[in-house]
Structures are given as C-alpha cells and as structure tokens.
Structure 1
Amino acid sequence: MLKPEANKARTVLSLPSVWDFQLAGETFDSAWVRHPLPDPTPMAVPGSYNSQKATAAYRDHYGWAVYQTRLTVPSAFLTQRVWLRFGGVTHRAQVFLNGELLGEHRGGFLPFEFELTARLPLPEGALLTVAVDNRIDFTTLPVGTSPAEAQAAYQPSGVPSIDVAEARRAPFNRPNFDFFNFAGIHRPVCLYTTPQTYIQDVAVTPSLDGTTGLLRYSVTTSGATAVSVTVQDQAGVICAKATGPNGVLRLQNAHLWAPGKPYLYQVTVTAAADRYQLAVGVRTVQVSGTKLLINGEPFYFKGFGKHEDAAVHGRGEDDCQNVLDVDLIHWLNANSFRTSHYPYAEEMYDLCDRAGIVIIDEVPAVGLGWGQDGRAYRDPAIYANHAKTLQDMIARDKNHPSVVMWSLANEAALDQHPTLARDYFHRLYELAHVSDPASRPVTGVSYPNDYQKDLTTRTMDVVCLNRYYGWYNLSGDLDAACDALAVELDWWAAQHKPVMLTEYGADTIAGLHNVVPGMFDEEFQVAYYRRLNAVLDRYPFVIGEQAWNFADFATIQGTLRVDGNKKGLFTRDRRPKMAAHYFKDRWAAVPDFGYKR
C-alpha cells in the first residue's frame, strides 16, 4: 500500500487532530455510531488514549473505546477518487460513516483504507466513528492471555482469600510481552485523492552491475494505461527513463545508499493523469557464509532494540520525537535498530532512509506459543493472520533502502514443540522471500529457548538471539555470564551462520551509583556491556550487537518493573545514562564495514 502523497495529481487532507472520545467495555452501544457520543471527552489523534487522561480508567482500560469526528469532503475532491486512510489503529478497528459500517481491520501497526468515491457527495459534517478494541488473546498479534484462558489455567494458591479474589477480578489484558499495551488511533488519519485511473502500487528493486545501478521496477495500475518512469539524482538531473509497467532503469556510475552515507534517487511514475514519487536507494543486501553484506561489504550492526514509546503520546506517531531519536542514534555512533516488536510508523522509515540508519523490520508476533501445548502452531487461523500481517508489512516497507532484514517473530516458544515450530516458521520464511521482490534476508528472534532443541532459529538466514546472561539468569555474576555466553557461541560456531545479539542488557536506575558495581546501578550496566562485548569480539561470525533498549519504556504493572522497563541507554525522556557514553565511545572505534575481517 502506497503512502499518500500530495502532488499535481493527488491531494492529501489530514483529519482533525482532536476527536471526541468515550470509553466503552466488552461491547459498545450501537447507537453511538449513528449519533454523537453521549458523554465525550477530547482525545488527540494520533496518540494512545491510555496516557492522555490522568485516571486509572483510561490507563487500565479493557475492551472497546469509541472515537468520533466530523468529516467534510471538499467539493474540489469530487472529480477524483477519494480514500479514507488510517496509518494504524491498535488492535482492532471498526469504522462507520453516518452509522454505516465501512469495514473492519485487525492488527494495530499497519495501514488500511476505504474508498469513499461511490458514497459522494457526503453531507457536510458527516459523522465518522471509529470503534477500537484493545483486547489481546491467544489469537492476536501480539499475543496475550484472555480472562477466560487465564481462569482455565489458574492454579489455586492454597490461600482461600487470594483464590476467591482472583476468581472475582474484573477482566483485564494480560500481555505475553514486556511493553505497555497502548491502544487507540496511533498513526495519522487522512483523506486523499487519486485520478480515476490511478497507480495502485510501485515496487523498485535495486541491484548492481559493476558501477551501474539497476532499478527493476513494477507498477500496478487500476486500469490499462501507459506507464512512464524517470529517475532523478539529488541534483535534480534525470539519469534514466523507461516506459511500460515493468522494466529496468540503468544508472551509470551510481551513487550507493550505505549506512551513514545515504544517497537517495527520486523515482517518478506517471500513468494517465496520475503521478507518484518515491525515494529509492541503490544498495544490495545478502548473506554470504557467516557475513551479512551491504553493497558487497561485511556489515556490523551497532544499535539496539527500540520502542515507539514516549510520555503523553504513548505509542502515537510523533515526528518531533522521531527526529530527536534519529539524532541521538547518530550521537551514539550507532547504525541500526530493530522495530521491536511491531512495524513502526512510515514516517520513521522515511527518516532512516534519509539518515542512513539500518532497520530490521519485525512482525508483531511477540510471545507466540508459550504454554499453549503447541496450539499456536496448529491453528490455521493464527497462521493466516500471521502470514497476512507479514505480507502487509513487506508490501508497505519493500521500497525502503533502510530495511535490510525481515523478522518473523520475537521470542516465540521454539523448543517446547520444536518440529511444529520449525514447520510453522519455515512456511513464513518462504513466504517472506517470495513476497519481497528484493528477497531480503529473513530472521526470527529467539529467547529463552534451549538452543540445542530449537530447530527453527538455525534455519534462518541470520541467527538473532536475545540473551540475558548475568541478568535474568546467573544474576549479577559477570564472570559466569561471560562463560555462559562463550559456551553458547562455541555451539553456534558449528552451525556456520551469521549470529547477532538483538537483545542483552540490565535494568538500570538513572542516578543510582556505587563504588562496587551492583545490579540496577549505572556502573553495573557499563560493566555488563563491557564484559559481554569483550566476548562478542572474540567470535568472527558475530555480526552485531543491539543493546536492549534504546530508552526506558512503559510496561504493565508488575513486581519485576519499577515504573517500566529500565534497560534503556537513555531514560524515557532521552537523558543519557553512563552506558550511552560507553557505547558512544565503543561504536566510534568499531567501523560499520569490515569489522572482524
């Protein structure tokens, strides 16, 4: 799905940024979609509704919530096709226009849209209602445990008062993931127009023939029409032209897109009266032996897992926050991050294309299969949802040069039912390669599986490991932690695969210091990374280190978390801890290419 853009052929109109809003429950009043909400409160869009009101009712809400605004389609739009687009609504959305259901979308992190053309003209100030369901369960991505599932699995504590209270608890979300279950309209909402015959999709796949850049393109249109394509360099000079819906554009002495040195060409597609432009980079990605190569050179990942998470906005798309985060990534001398644990807003990918930052793009399949007797890997509906989400993510992000790898899941149960898991993920692995015109490398991030029983991770193009030796296990003993990491890496050496750590870290309270480093103080976080990185440096097949996490982030309440997860190199408001300065110095000395030749 192409991101909306305004040009001579198309118009984009953002919808109001403050909507009427009302919490509901496990159902909502059907009258709400036909009439103004009975008791509305203002709610900013995009943004998480959990963090915009100072009450537990909003923070801990379970079930449906309803947004409303008035929609007016300008008369100038009536000569074109008109579309209503949502960048992302978490986790399930039903959209109504003047009481009529336009459609439904499942999944909170990818765009969806409805064509309004046949419904035009609309009365001025038509009532647009969006009902949002934040409930998670065994079948959703990310995964949670429903109240019914939790009750069925409950083991009596032996204390009558606790067991009675547990049975009487109000329903609430129980995520199988360690980040806050923010909900709402999280990405921009807009009306946009296209000509009657329009460009539906563009795929541009780069490759190299010596110093010549090759851009293989494919254009899909809504009807038979002539297609022309041009490429301009950053100076605005036209470098190549072609006609037809499929072809190859040849760029002599091409400027390459590379981490830290991005170069973007502008591809312009014209079909009948329609026009679409996108920025593309000439770069290649492949796995060769135990290396991941970008433009034929062995790349070393320096970075972290990250979250769309900030005060007030919650998970809502925030350009100001994104610009700051990209600047801090450069300040750290980092070159990459993983979109843990869901596709991010498109605006962030655009920034990373421009900034030369590498992305591992991840499907929101977090915590799949744990404690479920293999049902997740047998249920065709779960696979269908997972496969569609993967295909939609690739369809959205396929043209971004910053995206170098697809991640199928984070921390699925892989060793409890190893053959079922392997077969399930092998189907997704093949689907990812077939769905991506560039056939980027594919991975899946594992933890805390028995790596010798895990039959899935070793089949990926790149082995991505989340490991917390010295924190969740061997806690506080860095000698033992380094020993355990080395033992595991010795085993992976025999698999002849590129390996990287996509998570490792220690919760750290900013401002807590000790002469003798201990768990939770800043000195321990630095010692932890310094010691484990020394182990990583000994293994030539280790191709990267991504600390967990870029910044502290919100989580569900629990005894393991004090005001959220504190493993950030930065605090939640982006103040650096000592470990940020440690990595800034380390990564300045570690080159992007050719490390461990």
Structure 2
Amino acid sequence: MFHLSLFPFGNRSHESTPHSRHVPHRRVGKVIMLKPQSSPTRELVALDGLWAFKVDRQRSGESERWFAAPLETTLEAPVPASYNDLFVDESIRGHVGWVYYQRTVRVPRGWAGERVFVRVEAATHEGVVYVGDARVAHHVGGYTPFEADITEQVTAGGEFRLTIAVNNELTNETIPPGTIEVDADGTRRQRYMHDFYNYAGLARSVWLYSAPAVRVDDITVTTDVDGSAGLVAYAVETTVDADVRISIRDASGKVVGTASGAAGTVRIDDVTLWQPGAAYLYTLVAEALVDGAVTDSYSLPVGVRTVEVRGMQFLINGTPFYFTGFGKHEDSPVRGKGHDTAYLVHDFQLMEWIGANSFRTSHYPYAEEVMEFADRHGIVVIDETPAVGLNLSMGGGIFGGVKQSTFSPETANERTQQAHAQAIRELIARDKNHPSVLMWSISNEPASNEQGAREYFEPLVTLTRELDPSRPVTFVNVMFASHESDLIADLFDVMCLNRYYGWYVDTGDLAAAEKHLEADLLGWQEKYGRPIIMTEYGADTQAGLHSVFAAPWTEEYQVAYLEMNHRVFDRIEAFVGEQVWNFADFQTSAGVFRVDGNKKGVFTRDRRPKAAAHALRSRWTSLAK
C-alpha cells in the first residue's frame, strides 16, 4: 500500500480509415490488458519470425486493399524488431507513414470451441490488424498492447492470412507529439521533440492465443503488511457472471492462503516480503467456475511490499530507500527498439555489476518481459508514459528558443490531453500488478513553467490517482522549470529532476556547476520538503577519448562530472536517488549535436564500459553496504 503521510491529494475505437490524419475517438472506459499465458485452460502460439514486409510509399495500401491478398514484395522483416535499420535503402529508414507486415498463421486444431485472439504487444505508433479481408483491430499508441477476438474469422486447424499495418506518424495530438513537413517534391519528414530515434514497426512479439468463453478477464492486486503477515487484496473480473476461487502459493508451491468471491483479501502468515535486490514472488491463481466446474485458470506472480512517502523519505517496506541506477532506452544496433532477450539478460547483469538497484522506463513503457524480469530480480522501476516532448522550448534535448506556446489549441490541446489520459490508462492497466513498479511518471520534461501547464496536468494527476491510489505519482522536471517558475510540482509526491550543470550549463566549468546545482536542489528542498530524485544527469562522452585536462567529451570529464554531482547529492537532506543519463549510448535523429546518437551512456551502445562505469560501480556498491 502507498501511504502519503503529509499531504493528501484529492481501448480506443476509430471509424475512419487508418490513413486518416484525425485523432480517433477514444473510449474512456476501463482498459483490460491481462497478458496471455499458457495455463490448464489457455494456450498461446508465438508469431515471431520473418514476415513479408512492404512500405506504403504512396499511402495507397488501404484503398488498394493490400491486406486482401499476399503482399507483392520481396522484402522480409523480423518480428520483433524496428524496421528502420534493417535495410540498406535509406528511403525505408526515413519513411514517414504506413508499412505492412504479413504472414500465414495456422490455428491449432485443438482450439475448436475456444475463443481465439491475436495480440500485438506494440505497434509504433499506430496499428491496424486484418484477418483475411476483415479489419479486426485498431490502436493508437506505440508502446502498449492491443488485441482482437478473431474467433468468427478463423477455424481450428485452418490457416488464415494475418496482416498488420503500422504507422509511425506523430502529430501535435499524439503521445509523444510531433509534426510532419512535406517538401516540394512530396517527401514527408517527421519532426519530433524527443532525443531518441523514432524507431517504428513491430518491436515486440505478436501472439495467437486461446481462452475459454467464460474466463478471468482482469485481476487487480494490491498488498500491505500487518505485523508479520502479508495482506493481498484482489479484485477479479470475469467475462460473464461466474464464481471466483483464489489460492496463493509460495515459491515452493505450498498453498498459503485461499479465498472465494470476486474481491477480497488473503492473509499470508509469516510473509516473505518482496525487497529490492531480494525479490520473493508468490503465485496467485484465480479460477472462474460455473456450477462448481473450473472454466478458466489464470496465474499471477505477486510480490508483497509497501511503498510510502514520509516527509523527505521514500520508504519500501518501512525502510528508507535510495535509488541508484539509470534512465534507459530500448535501443540496440540493427534491431532498434526491438525486444531482445539476450540484451535483456546482459543489461540486467551489467546493472547488478555496477550496483544499480533501479531504472526509469524513459520515455515509454518497456516490454512486459522487462517488467517481469525486474519483478523476479528485485529491481525497482519508475514506470513512465510516452509523454515526452511536451515542451516547445526544447528540440531533441538541446535548449532552444521557440516562442510558440506548448499548451494551446494549435499545439498541445484538449485532444492531446485525451491521448495522454489514454496512455496513462493503458500503462496502469498493463503494469499495475508488477511489484517492481514503485512509482508512476506521467511525463518527461514538459513545459511545466508555461501558462496552461496546470490546466493540462492536474486532471491527469487526478486520473492517475483514481486508477491506482497504491503508488506515488511523479513527473520529470526539466532544467529551466525552476522551483520558482514550475506550476505543477505541488501536485506530485516525489520531485524528479533532470539537471545538466557542467554540460548544457557551465560547460567544462565544474566548480561553477557545483555551486549552481547545490543552490538549485536546496531551492526545491526548502519549497516542497519532499523526496528528490535526480532522474537525469550526464555528459556526452566519446569512448576512448582522453585528456589530462577537464575536457568535455573525454572519459575523464565524464567521471569528474559525475563525481561533482555526487558531492552535491550527498549534501542534500531530501535527496533519495540518482539515476544517471544514460545506461548506454543510444540512437537519435541526425544533427550537429548528435553524431551517431547520444553518447551520455556509461556503456557504449554495444555495452562496453567507459571509465564512468567503473567509477559508478565503486560508489554504488559502497552505498549498498
């Protein structure tokens, strides 16, 4: 349970063609995102692998009904993977608009009588699914899953043609936002305000799965502690009225608690808590029953732990917690944002080696496999929406001077806010049961100092708390929205700050940077008296570049820069965490400020350590003691 001690706070549908530039009407009801699984009553088939691939250069795929026949193409693309870096054709890498994926799928013959679904884990940033000639699903939002019941379109034992159209366009009414420019020759160019490459495609898995008609449709779990006992509060939704039976097993498989009914609380005596660095997971099994017979069984890992903000402390299980770790990215060579289990394991190994206990999902929800891995290994997660770039005074992370207002009918408007609200709904619906998720971040570096910011964000904060009152809520504050000019910080539980004194400000002058950073942090502490986490601080560094002087871009400067920050952090009472920007170098759009990407990683893009990685390991492993 999340306790706030000092200050109380009060699936989309679309009727137009997928090539419409209009933002679709958004369903504001409950979002269901229970992940498919294999169970005694369910089966699933991974549809990963090579798919036929075709770029819709003329924006004619829908009108010409590409989905109604085999794609006329010689290209193939892997799923999961972003498509941008796969091919040598530069026009594919920079394509703005729709692409089509297609493959043939056979439904297992044993699925007769079951409901059959296709689930897309992510389509960046918009996806349309066709089964044969039928359009069965449409979703806007590039980092959360969507699915369709295709039972009426397929036959057990038979084959069907599965086509997925994916659109990478960003507008002022999408999350994240962007704009599209059209050159005189008709070339379309995507502009966006976030400092990471706009990778596109099917970057996560696609699944075919079966489930009973009478089934568990959603589960919500929250936990608390009563002395030596754990309390697991649950709420189960079923597709139709059915009896519900709950059992909870420990790691050895022993039943440690049972309950009946769609909602209730299970008490676990002598509970083993989920702890950072010492994860312990129970298994909650929810069964749907009709006339005493089990129609569906769904298993959910559960970690029992509490989260509390008390004054200037962040407590996990009643103990002060200090965040060490990173802002990360789903980014690697060739596959772009494509989920890769080898990188997943290696990245977590490097975090363990360096002494990191946490990360932020900057700046979008990561693959569900990442969250599950964090659950199992005791890594704390700040879970963030894709709302990055809501700041027209910034361009690609470099300070600009755009005079256009961020919040206006022509820029971030009511429809942008609706898209943002839906992103929050889907993030919480997907990740609400992960014990590793300790806090929601609803935006990165918005223009929180501009007129209109409070009117935009206050309803979103209220929505987040309504959807999940069990966790703290934060946003990540940009450097030039100071404690004096920021208009929304009082709405949030924890102050998450991005600061680059010594890099974008006081470049190369670490003595001045140290003074300015300390004054900045003390201002936040004195005004709000709440926990402070530095969610970004870092300096671009070219691996292998060295100097005996404090020269920016050298490995020596990156180390000295981090050490300066750490001296300040250790002097701030409200400080509860440090997350370096970034875990590893990552790809961005091209430009004079970004030569082959952002180089602030303490590891290179292929995960080789810079000198800063060893310096951080020395600090963080000593802090852990």
- TM-score band, normalised by the shorter chain? over 0.9
More helix by share: 1
More deviation in 35-44 or 574-583?
35-44
Amino acid in structure 1 at the alignment position of 2:599: K
Q: What residue in structure 1 maps to residue 25 of structure 2?
A: none
Q: Distance in 2 between matches of 1:510 and 1:80?
A: 55
Q: How many pairs are equivalent?
A: 572
Q: 2:121 aligns with which of 87, 90, 93?
A: 87
Partner SS, residue 590 of structure 1: helix
Q: What residue in structure 1 maps to residue 280 of structure 2?
A: 263
Is residue 2:439 matched to residue 1:442?
Answer: no
Amino acid in structure 2 at the alignment position of 1:230: S
Report Cα offsets for 1:486-542 as digits up to 9, x if no partner: 111121121211111100100000111111231000000000000111001101101
Amino acid in structure 1 at the alignment position of 2:471: R
Q: 1:476 aligns with which of 500, 504, 508?
A: 508
Partner SS, residue 90 of structure 1: coil
Q: Distance in 1 between matches of 2:65 and 2:427?
A: 35
The Cα shift of 1:79 comes to: 1.4
CA contact (8 A) 2:406 2:447 kept: no
CA contact (8 A) 1:442 1:462 kept: yes
The Cα shift of 1:450 comes to: 2.9
More deviation in 575-584 or 130-139?
130-139
The Cα shift of 1:24 comes to: 1.3
Q: Distance in 2 between matches of 1:373 and 1:206?
A: 39
Amino acid in structure 2 at the alignment position of 1:145: T
Is residue 2:214 matched to residue 1:192?
Answer: no
Q: What residue in structure 2 maps to residue 163 of structure 1?
A: none
Q: Distance in 2 between matches of 1:131 and 1:350?
A: 28
Amino acid in structure 1 at the alignment position of 2:426: D
CA contact (8 A) 2:249 2:282 kept: yes
Q: Distance in 2 between matches of 1:28 and 1:446?
A: 42
The Cα shift of 1:15 comes to: 1.3
CA contact (8 A) 1:138 1:146 kept: no
CA contact (8 A) 1:28 1:64 kept: no
CA contact (8 A) 1:300 1:543 kept: yes
Identity of aligned residues (%): 44
The Cα shift of 1:169 comes to: 7.6
Is residue 2:567 matched to residue 1:534?
Answer: yes
CA contact (8 A) 1:369 1:375 kept: no
Q: What residue in structure 1 maps to residue 497 of structure 2?
A: 465
Amino acid in structure 2 at the alignment position of 1:548: W
Q: Distance in 1 between matches of 2:58 and 2:577?
A: 44
Q: Distance in 2 between matches of 1:528 and 1:28?
A: 52
> Tell me, which stretches of 5 or more residues in structure 1 are unaligned?
149-165, 593-597
Partner SS, residue 351 of structure 2: helix
Q: What residue in structure 2 maps to residue 506 of structure 1?
A: 539
Partner SS, residue 89 of structure 1: coil
More deviation in 166-175 or 551-560?
166-175
Report Cα offsets for 1:273-329 as digits up to 9, x if no partner: 100001110101121111111001111010010000011221011111111111111
CA contact (8 A) 2:108 2:157 kept: no
CA contact (8 A) 2:391 2:445 kept: no
TM-score, normalised with respect to structure 1: 0.93
Amino acid in structure 2 at the alignment position of 1:297: T
Q: 2:257 aligns with which of 219, 240, 264?
A: 240
Is residue 2:408 matched to residue 1:366?
Answer: no
Is residue 2:471 matched to residue 1:454?
Answer: no
5 Å-filtered alignment, 1:50-199, equals 50-121=84-155, 124-147=158-181, 170-199=187-216
Is residue 2:620 matched to residue 1:587?
Answer: yes
5 Å-filtered alignment, 1:372-521, equals 372-375=405-408, 379-417=413-451, 420-436=452-468, 438-451=469-482, 452-494=484-526, 495-521=528-554
Q: Distance in 1 between matches of 2:48 and 2:313?
A: 48
Q: 1:560 aligns with which of 588, 593, 599?
A: 593
CA contact (8 A) 1:26 1:63 kept: no
Amino acid in structure 1 at the alignment position of 2:531: P
Q: Distance in 2 between matches of 1:124 and 1:229?
A: 36
Q: What residue in structure 2 maps to residue 577 of structure 1?
A: 610
Amino acid in structure 2 at the alignment position of 1:173: Q
CA contact (8 A) 2:222 2:470 kept: no
Amino acid in structure 2 at the alignment position of 1:60: G
More deviation in 105-114 or 369-378?
369-378
The Cα shift of 1:222 comes to: 0.6
TM-score, normalised with respect to structure 2: 0.89
Amino acid in structure 2 at the alignment position of 1:180: Y
Report Cα offsets for 1:84-114 as digits up to 9, x if no partner: 1010010011111112211210000000000
The Cα shift of 1:369 comes to: 4.2
Partner SS, residue 65 of structure 1: strand
Distance 1:10 1:122, change over 3 A: closer
CA contact (8 A) 1:432 1:439 kept: no
The Cα shift of 1:461 comes to: 0.5
Q: What residue in structure 1 maps to residue 230 of structure 2?
A: 213
Q: 2:316 aligns with which of 288, 294, 310?
A: 294
Q: Distance in 1 between matches of 2:559 and 2:463?
A: 40
Q: Distance in 1 between matches of 2:613 and 2:79?
A: 32
Partner SS, residue 81 of structure 2: coil
Partner SS, residue 390 of structure 1: helix
Q: Distance in 1 between matches of 2:418 and 2:79?
A: 30
Amino acid in structure 2 at the alignment position of 1:334: A
Q: Distance in 2 between matches of 1:286 and 1:25?
A: 52
Q: Distance in 1 between matches of 2:412 and 2:52?
A: 42
Is residue 2:361 matched to residue 1:345?
Answer: no
Partner SS, residue 348 of structure 2: helix
Report Cα offsets for 1:12-57 as digits up to 9, x if no partner: 0111411000111361332311111122311000100002112312
Q: Distance in 1 between matches of 2:100 and 2:185?
A: 27
Q: Distance in 2 between matches of 1:14 and 1:462?
A: 39
Q: Distance in 2 between matches of 1:201 and 1:449?
A: 42
Amino acid in structure 1 at the alignment position of 2:534: L
Q: Distance in 1 between matches of 2:444 and 2:184?
A: 31
Q: Distance in 2 between matches of 1:63 and 1:203?
A: 37
Q: What residue in structure 1 maps to residue 296 of structure 2?
A: 274
Q: Distance in 2 between matches of 1:372 and 1:36?
A: 47
Q: What residue in structure 2 maps to residue 313 of structure 1?
A: 335
Q: Distance in 2 between matches of 1:240 and 1:125?
A: 44
Q: 2:354 aligns with which of 332, 346, 349?
A: 332
Amino acid in structure 2 at the alignment position of 1:411: E
The Cα shift of 1:378 comes to: 6.7
Q: Distance in 2 between matches of 1:140 and 1:202?
A: 29
The Cα shift of 1:460 comes to: 1.1
